[in-house]
A = this chain, B = another copy of it.
Amino acid sequence: MGNWIESKGPDSNIVLSSRIRLARNISGYHFPHVMNDEESKKIIKKLSTFMLKENRMPAGNFQLIEMADISHIERMSLVEKHVISPRLAENYKNSAVIVNDDSTVSIMINEEDHIRLQTINPGLQLWEAYKLADNIDDTIEERLDYAFDQRAGYLTVCPTNIGTGIRASVMIHLPALSMTKNLNEILNAITQVGLTIRGIYGEGSNTQGNLYQISNQITLGLSEEEIISNLAAVTGQIINMERIERAKLLQSGRARMEDSIWRALGILQNARVLSNNESLGLMSNVRLGIELGIIKDIDITTLNKLMINTQPATLIKLEGKDLDTESRDVKRAKYVRENLK
């Protein structure tokens, strides 16, 4: 299936990725925020020992990365690549991630819960991502005793995760709906069916580059299948609305739309200083141009890579040394130029 950054999937011209995240805790241990260092090490050990050796594990080879072993920049770069959550990076003293070769599966240890199992697929592939997550979850459950209650389901730190412990989400590009300001209506409708929409770095993150993350709010009282069905159906509707809005924009002002798309590409190919915010905005325009077939010689995966690799920490990691904001903007412009020739 491949990594969402470097591969395409169904509806890739609007949906970047589909993600499933399962929250699990191991019975007989304190929750991460109240346990001591020793206990946290034990959990990392427990999980990694069997997971790295387990040859029945789906999705390839896994490696363990203890957060305390890597630098702040490396941790932030993993956040930017959506391999780990900001919380795991913050709680780096006692946390770790077990990740497979192409980062389609990552198992965060001692995030908010003992286990946060995440699978990401390119495009709209919620069911495929869920199947993989479920599969790995079963493999883990054979070896460990999950904290589970017959009535409440999987027990989690935060009540919003209790029950199935599932969060399903899609990362979606909605430039036309953002432009025409129909997004507020959609936001209201989404909330009413138990979903939520936010920036691509999760709760509290800003919306940038017309990219949004739509996910379920409710984990209790619905089965995993119902949650995914619900999200898939709403996502399908939003994809349709975005398509209609794009067609309308093209019909009412094709020249203006093509103009802003090509200008964005021209600026990205020529700028010498690029802030992250401006860069994401311009990339959204270029992405739209590719999605609409107006720009033909650039692949959408090139844009995905550019978007991730120009994030502050990943950029510093690529450069191999620390950069202040000014130098980062110069470096970002250089990187974008060289990769958009």
| A interface residue numbers (CB < 8 A to B) | 255-256, 258-259, 262-263, 265-273, 326, 330, 333
What is the minimal beta-carbon distance from A294 to any residue of chain B, in angstroms? 10
The distance in angstroms between the C-alpha atoms of A326 and B273, with both chains bound, is 32
What is the minimal beta-carbon distance from A147 to any residue of chain B, in angstroms? 54
- B residues near A271, Cβ cutoff 8 Å: 259, 262-263, 266
Interface centre among A255, A272, A330 (most CB of B within 10 A): A272
Contacts A255-B272, A266-B267 aside, 15 further interface pairs with beta carbons under 8 A come to A255-B326, A258-B272, A259-B271, A259-B272, A259-B333, A262-B271, A262-B272, A263-B266, A263-B267, A263-B270, A265-B270, A266-B269, A266-B270, A266-B271, A267-B267
What is the minimal beta-carbon distance from A1 to any residue of chain B, in angstroms? 35
The distance in angstroms between the C-alpha atoms of A252 and B268, with both chains bound, is 24
Query: How many chain copies?
Result: 2
The distance in angstroms between the C-alpha atoms of A270 and B264, with both chains bound, is 8
8 pairs of A and B residues whose beta carbons are closest in the complex: A266-B270, A266-B266, A259-B272, A262-B270, A259-B273, A258-B272, A266-B267, A263-B267
A337's closest neighbor in chain B, by CB?
Answer: B262
What is the minimal beta-carbon distance from A194 to any residue of chain B, in angstroms? 43
- B residues near A333, Cβ cutoff 8 Å: 259
The distance in angstroms between the C-alpha atoms of A318 and B335, with both chains bound, is 40
25 interchain pairs (CB within 8 A)?
A255-B272, A255-B273, A255-B326, A256-B273, A258-B272, A259-B271, A259-B272, A259-B273, A259-B333, A262-B270, A262-B271, A262-B272, A263-B266, A263-B267, A263-B270, A263-B271, A265-B266, A265-B270, A266-B266, A266-B267, A266-B268, A266-B269, A266-B270, A266-B271, A267-B267
The distance in angstroms between the C-alpha atoms of A131 and B263, with both chains bound, is 47
- B residues near A259, Cβ cutoff 8 Å: 271-273, 333
- B residues near A326, Cβ cutoff 8 Å: 255
- B residues near A263, Cβ cutoff 8 Å: 266-267, 270-271
What is the minimal beta-carbon distance from A261 to any residue of chain B, in angstroms? 8
What is the minimal beta-carbon distance from A315 to any residue of chain B, in angstroms? 16
- B residues near A270, Cβ cutoff 8 Å: 262-263, 265-266
What is the minimal beta-carbon distance from A218 to any residue of chain B, in angstroms? 46
The distance in angstroms between the C-alpha atoms of A255 and B256, with both chains bound, is 30
- B residues near A272, Cβ cutoff 8 Å: 255-256, 258-259, 262
- B residues near A269, Cβ cutoff 8 Å: 266
A272's closest neighbor in chain B, by CB?
Answer: B259
The distance in angstroms between the C-alpha atoms of A55 and B200, with both chains bound, is 78
The distance in angstroms between the C-alpha atoms of A273 and B265, with both chains bound, is 15
